[in-house]
Each structure stands twice: as structure tokens, then as C-alpha cells.
């Protein structure tokens, strides 16, 4: 089967061919750990999770590296504002990020390198760039990349640099593509950096953000990798600068396919920490949404379209998650142990292999769900068909991860179910009913069967 991905570099869909047969290397820009990641960030991390799961489903081995940005302008600012050390800030938000990754059932990366553990690698790369004439140091002990020195500069963001006179340079990590300038590889120590600094051939300082990803991606995946991802805001300057640094320093090709997820937006604006219009995973869980509904809401639109966040979207997601889980439960009661797949499964995978078209794939799955429900209502579903359906739902869930299996029942629900069991044994029917209601309010259904109870999501 041909797999096709849209490559930001060529602005078209391309047939995917891994560099090493049977194996795919993926680098994804991870969180900047200066505050809790919001669901906008998780839209991008979930797009990357779907990408990885689709590649695994079609039989590739995947080597995935995601960095943690634990030193940059934002993390240092935050530490200063809160009068804390950089490590105090970054360890807190890294732990919270990992907690949210687990909640959303995102497959963790094989390697999660942190920037502060790779300063020497960055210094080596910067030294190589100076040697090759692609970078220069300034009087204060900073080092800048000369964009004029790299002829392909601008190829990812499609900038036209002809006629642009290079007169300025930029020290900040973030700036817009209206002002492409020489950018900082190494930033000389300033008072506001406090005790955040490392020694280098240019004096005390710290790396620029873009350099971090060039050093870490190539250290763990080699100079030439298959896929590099991020959100669209990473295209410029971050990924443009990564290409310039890596290709110039290593005299190598760097990345074959660049994939970028569009933004999650909130009332017409990008959801972002700086605009303050954010929602986090714990906030949404506290509002009564399940991890599966959040996952569903964030993957149900195509990754290259903007996704408007709304309560309506979350309610729709909750209904869909319920519908599929309800069918799953019914099928477990009917199915025999058959292990064949319906044709719809091939279609489902083919659609996902076409640039991860999740909305279309979900359409195929939910049509199938509707057909099966109709047969169940008419008592027409055979054990064999039920087994096929069950197998399809399980296989589809290896990518979607929206089924709540018995062993996913949260501890608090399991305790309530046990308490209710005791109440029933003691024939305390009132307490048993109250507990059933409490469990329902928390999003789970408990059902009494002749040989015990069953608990599944609402
Ligand atoms: P950060 O923690 O700011 O470094 O961002 C982590 C990832 O989230 C990056 O790949 C960003 O491009 C991505 N991102 C940031 N805001 C959004 C958003 N509103 N929607 C989708 N992705 C986003
Ligand atoms: Zn990055």
C-alpha cells in the first residue's frame, strides 16, 4: 500500500519512502516546559501520535524522538517571575506534561532528550558552523547564523529573500517571517539569565532554541531522518533555522518530510499561553469530559485544517465515544472467537495512509457502527459477524485509542463499584442505587449480570 504524506517543503502530497527499509525515524518538537501544555499543544501531539500509530499499523518499526525544551527565553522568564530556579520550573511542567501524555494515551517517544543535557553537542555544532563560515561571533560573546551564507535559506517557509539586504540580527527565539534575520545560535550571558549559563569557546552563555532541536534530532536519529513534525507556528523561524543549521553544519540532507499540524483555535485566535485563552487537560477532565472524548475531539478533524474548540465539539465527541463503546460492549456479549476482519478495515487503513485523513476514516468506522447496531436491533447479527466487528473495533482502536476497556476503569470508579457490590450483598438497595447514580455522573455505567457486574463508559 502506498502511504502519502503532505510535505510542507514541497507543498504537496508525496509517496512516503523510508530511508531504511521497514523503519521510520520521526522527530517531533516537544513542549517548552514553562507552563502546563494546553489542548492546542495536544492537538499537535495527538496528530503525531496518529501518524506514529498508522505507521505501526501498516508494519513499520518507528523510532520516535521528542525533545523537551527546558531552557529558552520563556522558561528563564518564568523562573525569574516566580523567583524559582530553572530546574524547579522545568521539572514541574515536564512531570505535568508526562501526566497528560499518559491520560491522553499518547504513545511515549522512544527518547525524550532534554536540552540542558545536550549543551556540549550544541557547542560542537556551533563551532562547526563558525568553521565553515556559516556563523560568526559578536563582541559580547554571542554567535549568530548568517542566513546569507546558506543558499537554501527560506525554502521551507517559501520566503523570497532576493533583494533583502541583511542588515540586522535577532537574539530572541521567536520572530515573524516578515523579518528574516541572522539568528542566535549562542546567547551571551545577561543579568536576567541569573545562574543559567554554560561555559563555551565564546564565553558564558546559553544556546538559542533552534540549535537545541538540530543537535538533539541528529544525535538520536542520525544526520538524515524521515519525518520531522510540529505545529504550523514551528515552520518559521524554528524549522527553517533547523534546516539551515543542520544542513550547513553536517553537509548532509536533514529531513525528507516535514509535517505540520494546523492550530486549534479559540474564537478565531490560536490557542496560546501568551494570549491566555487556553484550556488544559485537567481542567477539561474536571469539567466532566473523559480522556477518550478529548482524544476524539482533537483527532476528528484533519490535521491540516484549523480546528475550532467548542463545548459543542466536546459534546459531539462524547456521544461518538459512547456510541462506539456501547457497541463494543454489545459485541462482546454476542461474538464468538473469530478473528477475521471486514473489508471496511482495509478501507479505514487506506484512508489513514492517505495523509492521515481521520475524519474520512471515522466516517467509514461510524457507518459500520450504524449498520451493526441496526442488525443488533433486528436480532440479525450472527456470532461470526459480531466477532468480526469486535476485531475491527479493536484494530481501529490501536490507532484511535477511544475504547474504554475494563482495565481502563479509573481507581475512583472501581472503588465505587466495589462499594456498590457490598451494598447489594447487604441488600441495601437504596445505597446501591445512589452509588449507581454517582458512578453515572462520573461517566460510567454499571450493569448487573447474572454472573457479576459490568462497568463501561457512558
Ligand atoms: P510549545 O510548548 O509552545 O513549544 O509547543 C508545543 C507544540 O504545540 C509545538 O509543536 C507547537 O507548534 C504546537 N502548538 C502550539 N499552539 C498550538 C495550537 N493552538 N494548536 C496546535 N498546535 C499548537
Ligand atoms: Zn524543535
272 lines ligand 1 (CB under 6 A): yes
User: Do 66 and 50 belong together in one domain?
Assistant: yes
User: Do 342 and 415 belong together in one domain?
Assistant: no
74 lines ligand 1 (CB under 6 A): no
The confidence score (pLDDT) of residue 167 equals 60
User: Do 154 and 30 belong together in one domain?
Assistant: yes
Range of the domain at 334: 272-406
User: Do 117 and 194 belong together in one domain?
Assistant: yes
Q: How far, in Å, is the centroid of ligand 1 from the Cα of 180?
A: 21
18 lines ligand 1 (CB under 6 A): no
The confidence score (pLDDT) of residue 396 equals 98
The confidence score (pLDDT) of residue 201 equals 98
Q: How many domains does the chain have?
A: 3
How crowded is residue 343: how many other Cβ atoms within 10 Å of its Cβ? 9
Q: Which residue, among 1, 44, 225, 219, has the nearest Cα to 114 in the 3D structure?
A: 219
Q: What does the block give as the cell for 265?
A: 483555535
The confidence score (pLDDT) of residue 267 equals 74
User: Do 319 and 442 belong together in one domain?
Assistant: no
Q: How far, in Å, is the centroid of ligand 1 from the Cα of 252?
A: 28
Q: Is residue 243 part of a domain?
A: yes
Q: Is residue 345 part of a domain?
A: yes
Q: Is residue 414 part of a domain?
A: yes
pTM: 0.91
174 lines ligand 1 (CB under 6 A): no
235 lines ligand 1 (CB under 6 A): no
The residue assigned the cell 476524539 is: 296
The confidence score (pLDDT) of residue 166 equals 60
H or E, element range at 183 = strand 182-188
User: Do 202 and 97 belong together in one domain?
Assistant: yes
Mean residue pLDDT of the chain comes to 94
Mean pLDDT of 58-69: 98
Q: Is residue 2 part of a domain?
A: no
The confidence score (pLDDT) of residue 288 equals 85
Q: Is residue 5 part of a domain?
A: no
Q: Of 217, 238, 261, which marks where a domain is finished?
A: 261
We report the CATH number of the domain holding residue 66 as 3.40.50.620
Integer Cα distance of 57 and 393 in angstroms: 14
The confidence score (pLDDT) of residue 171 equals 87
The confidence score (pLDDT) of residue 251 equals 94
Q: Does the pLDDT value for residue 315 go beyond 70?
A: yes
Give the pairing type, strands 61-66 and 23-28.
parallel
User: Do 74 and 130 belong together in one domain?
Assistant: yes
Eight-class DSSP state of 76: H
The confidence score (pLDDT) of residue 163 equals 62
Q: What does the block give as the cell for 122?
A: 550544541
How crowded is residue 374: how many other Cβ atoms within 10 Å of its Cβ? 11
User: Measured from the CA of 307, which atom of ligand 1 is nearest?
Assistant: 20
User: Do 148 and 22 belong together in one domain?
Assistant: yes
User: Do 246 and 98 belong together in one domain?
Assistant: yes
CB 391 within 8 A of CB 372: no
H or E, element range at 15 = strand 12-15
CB 321 within 8 A of CB 296: yes
How crowded is residue 430: how many other Cβ atoms within 10 Å of its Cβ? 8
| 122, 126, 131, 133 alpha-carbon torsion, rounded to 10° | 150
Mean pLDDT of 25-30: 98
Kindly write down the DSSP assignment for every residue of 386-441, as one continuous string: HHHHHHHHHHHHHHH-----GGG--HHHHHHHHHHHHHHHTT-HHHHHHHHHHHHH
Q: Does the pLDDT value for residue 406 go beyond 80?
A: no
Mean pLDDT of 373-390: 96
User: Do 376 and 340 belong together in one domain?
Assistant: yes
User: Do 312 and 422 belong together in one domain?
Assistant: no
User: Measured from the CA of 271, which atom of ligand 1 is nearest?
Assistant: 19
User: Measured from the CA of 30, which atom of ligand 1 is nearest?
Assistant: 6
How crowded is residue 370: how many other Cβ atoms within 10 Å of its Cβ? 12
Tens digits of residue pLDDT in 152-168: 999 999 988 776 656 67
Bridge partners (DSSP) of residue 447 are 454
234 lines ligand 1 (CB under 6 A): yes
Please state whether the peptide bond connecting residue 237 to the residue before it is cis, i.e. omega within 30 degrees of 0. Answer: yes
We report the CATH number of the domain holding residue 330 as 1.10.730
- Angle between helical axes of 358-377 and 383-400 (0-180°, round to 10): 160
Ligand 1 test: best mutation among 27, 233, 266, 276, most atoms within 8 Å of CB?
A: 233
Q: Of 204, 235, 261, which marks where a domain is finished?
A: 261
User: Do 87 and 185 belong together in one domain?
Assistant: yes
Tens digits of residue pLDDT in 120-178: 999 999 999 999 999 999 999 999 999 999 999 999 999 887 766 566 788 888 888 87
- φ/ψ (deg, to 5) at 272: -155, 150
Nearest CA to ligand 1 atom 6: 31
29 lines ligand 1 (CB under 6 A): yes
Q: Is residue 266 part of a domain?
A: no
Q: For residue 269, what pLDDT band results from cuts at 50, 70 and 90?
A: confident
Q: Does the pLDDT value for residue 458 go beyond 80?
A: no
Eight-class DSSP state of 142: -
The confidence score (pLDDT) of residue 445 equals 84
Q: Is residue 59 part of a domain?
A: yes
41 lines ligand 1 (CB under 6 A): yes
Tens digits of residue pLDDT in 66-104: 999 999 999 999 999 999 999 999 999 999 999 999 999
Q: How far, in Å, is the centroid of ligand 1 from the Cα of 32?
A: 9
Q: How far, in Å, is the centroid of ligand 2 from the Cα of 239?
A: 7
Integer Cα distance of 203 and 192 in angstroms: 16
Q: Of 261, 286, 313, which marks where a domain is finished?
A: 261
CB 228 within 8 A of CB 259: yes
Q: Is residue 1 part of a domain?
A: no
Amino acid at each position: 500500500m502506498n502511504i502519502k504524506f503532505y510535505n510542507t517543503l514541497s507543498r504537496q502530497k508525496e509517496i512516503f519512502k523510508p530511508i531504511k527499509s521497514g523503519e521510520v525515524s520521526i522527530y517531533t518538537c516537544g513542549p517548552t516546559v514553562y507552563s502546563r501544555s494546553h489542548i492546542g499543544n495536544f492537538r499537535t501531539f495527538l496528530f503525531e501520535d496518529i501518524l506514529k500509530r498508522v505507521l505501526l499499523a501498516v508494519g513499520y518499526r518507528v523510532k520516535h524522538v521528542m525533545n523537551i525544551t527546558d531552557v529558552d527565553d520563556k522558561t528563564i522568564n518564568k523562573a525569574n517571575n516566580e523567583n524559582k530556579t530553572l530546574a524547579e520550573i522545568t521539572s514541574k511542567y515536564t512531570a505535568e506534561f508526562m501526566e497528560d501524555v499518559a491520560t491522553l494515551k499518547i504513545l511515549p517517544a522512544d527518547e525524550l532528550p532534554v536540552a540542558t543535557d545536550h549543551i556540549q553537542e550544541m557547542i560542537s555544532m556551533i563551532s562547526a558552523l563558525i568553521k565553515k563560515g556559516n556563523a560568526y561571533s559578536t563582541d559580547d560573546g554571542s554567535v549568530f547564523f548568517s542566513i546569507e551564507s546558506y543558499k537554501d535559506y527560506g525554502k521551507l517557509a517559501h520566503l523570497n529573500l532576493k533583494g533583502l539586504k541583511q542588515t540586522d540580527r535577532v537574539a530572541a527565539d521567536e520572530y515573524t517571517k516578515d523579518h528574516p534575520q541572522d539568528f542566535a545560535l549562542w546567547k551571551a550571558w545577561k543579568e536576567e539569565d541569573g545562574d543559567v549559563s554554560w561555559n563555551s569557546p565564546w564565553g558564558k552563555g546559553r544556546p538559542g532554541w533552534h540549535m537545541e532541536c538540530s543537535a538533539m534530532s541528529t544525535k538520536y536519529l542520525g544526520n538524515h531522518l524521515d519525518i520531522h513534525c510540529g505545529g504550523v507556528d514551528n515552520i518559521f523561524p524554528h524549522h527553517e533555522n533547523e534546516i539551515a543549521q543542520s544542513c550547513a553544519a553536517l553537509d548532509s540532507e536533514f529531513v525528507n518530510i516535514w509535517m505540520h499540524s494546523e492550530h486549534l483555535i479559540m474564537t478565531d485566535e490560536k490557542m496560546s499561553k501568551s494570549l491566555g485563552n487556553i484550556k488544559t487537560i485537567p481542567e477539561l477532565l474536571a469539567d466532566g469530559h473523559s480522556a477518550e472524548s478529548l482524544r476524539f475531539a482533537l483527532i476528528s478533524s484533519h490535521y491540516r485544517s484549523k480546528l475550532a474548540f467548542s463545548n459543542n465539539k466536546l459534546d459531539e465527541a462524547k456521544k461518538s465515544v459512547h456510541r462506539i463503546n456501547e457497541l463494543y460492549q454489545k459485541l462482546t456479549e454476542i461474538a464468538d472467537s473469530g478473528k477475521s476482519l471486514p473489508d471496511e478495515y482495509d478501507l479505514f487503513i487506506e484512508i489513514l495512509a492517505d495523509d492521515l485523513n481521520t475524519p474520512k476514516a471515522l466516517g467509514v468506522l461510524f457507518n459500520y457502527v450504524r449498520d451493526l447496531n441496526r442488525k443488533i436491533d433486528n436480532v440479525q447479527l450472527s456470532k461470526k459477524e459480531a466477532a468480526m466487528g469486535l476485531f475491527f473495533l479493536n484494530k481501529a482502536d490501536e490507532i484511535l485509542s477511544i475504547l474504554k476497556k475494563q482495565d481502563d476503569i479509573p481507581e475512583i470508579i472501581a472503588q465505587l463499584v466495589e462499594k456498590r457490590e457490598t451494598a447489594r450483598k447487604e441488600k441495601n438497595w437504596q445505597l446501591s442505587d445512589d452509588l449507581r447514580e454517582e458512578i453515572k455522573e462520573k461517566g460510567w455505567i454499571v450493569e448487573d449480570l447474572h454472573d457479576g457486574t459490568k462497568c463501561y463508559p457512558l
